[in-house]
Amino acid sequence: MPQYFPPNTNAFVRWALLGGGAFTVALIVALPIYARTMNNAVGVPVEQPIAFAHNLHATQLGIDCRYCHTSVEVAASANVPASETCMTCHSQVRVGSPQLAALWTSWEADAPLEWNRVHDLPEYAYFNHSAHITNGVGCSTCHGRVDQMEGIWKNEPLTMGWCMECHRAPERFVRPRSEVFNMAYQPPSDQLTLGRELVAAYHIDTEKLISCSTCHR
């Protein structure tokens, strides 16, 4: 029988099979580990055209979230304010400051400021801010203490698994409607009891919360 391959071919094939198998297993193990530990850029500040300080505006100046994010209670999007909203104060305050250069440009050109998106959900997830606000989900539950942030970053991974933590057991996170905009709210020690009462009081349909079409239409 003719020999077309050198004698060490068998060893090469054996090692290649072993290596290929090991590589496949390593890939299958490594990818979920990466997906679970990279944490979706949580805590990484996002660069913005203006170094807007939430802590200065919300805490030191005491401006309510809704002064800028006007549609949060009534619409799906909590809206990023138009330059006009900034100018309600900045036409008088810190006029000509180089830190606000992007704002002056936008105002003069009558073109919106291009902020960089921080919380970017996929298009197939139909998230609605007003539905959460009116059912007792506080701003800080998802966004963390934005009122203490110098820059802006995600406080939670926003993966579907993270959404499901609350959608499967809303009583663990729901707070009274009056406390929704209270950034310093601490859940009481009997959160589960209170949560169950609130879920009943707000008619939160826990069956619906875990149905696919609630978020994916």
Partner 1 sequence: MAVTTGTQLVKETTRVLAPGQTAGGIDDSVNTPVLSGKTPMWWWIGFGISAALLGLYLVSVVNLVTTGTGIFGNNMPVAWAMPIINFVWWIGIGHAGTLISAALLLFRQPWRTSINRFAEAMTIFAVVCAGLYPILHLGRPWVFYWLLPYPNTFGMFPQFRSPLAWDLFAISAYATVSLVFWYVGLIPDLATLRDSARSRFQKLLYGALSLGWTGSARAWGRYMRAYLLLAALSFPLVLSVHSTIAMDFAVSQLPGWNNTIMPPYFVAGAVFAGFAMVLILAIPLRRAFHLRSVITMRHLDNAAKLLLGTGMIVVYGYGIELFMAWYSGVEFEVFMAYNRVFGADHGWAFWLLIMCNLVAIQPLWFRSVRQNPIALFVISIIVSIGMWLERYVIIVVSLTKDFLLSSWFNYVPTFWDWALFAGSFGLFGTLFFLFIRLLPSVATSEMKEMVHHDAHHGSDYYETIRGSYHGEGGRA
Under the rule (CB under 8 A), what is the footprint of partner 1? Answer: 1-2, 4-5, 9-10, 28, 32, 35-36, 124, 157, 159-165, 168
CB of 159 to partner 1, least distance (A): 4
CB of 35 to partner 1, least distance (A): 5
Q: What is the CA radius of gyration of the chain?
A: 25
CB of 196 to partner 1, least distance (A): 22
CB of 217 to partner 1, least distance (A): 11
* C-beta closer to partner 1: residue 6 or 96: 6
Pick the closest to residue 80 from 43, 44, 45, 112 (CA basis): 112
* C-beta closer to partner 1: residue 43 or 112: 43
Roughly what angle, to the nearest 10 degrees, separates helices 101-109 and 83-90? 120
* C-beta closer to partner 1: residue 36 or 208: 36
* C-beta closer to partner 1: residue 107 or 162: 162
Using an 8 Å Cβ cutoff, are 58 and 65 in contact? Answer: yes
* C-beta closer to partner 1: residue 84 or 165: 165
CB of 4 to partner 1, least distance (A): 4
Residue with tokens 């902020």: 115
CB of 9 to partner 1, least distance (A): 8
* C-beta closer to partner 1: residue 29 or 61: 29
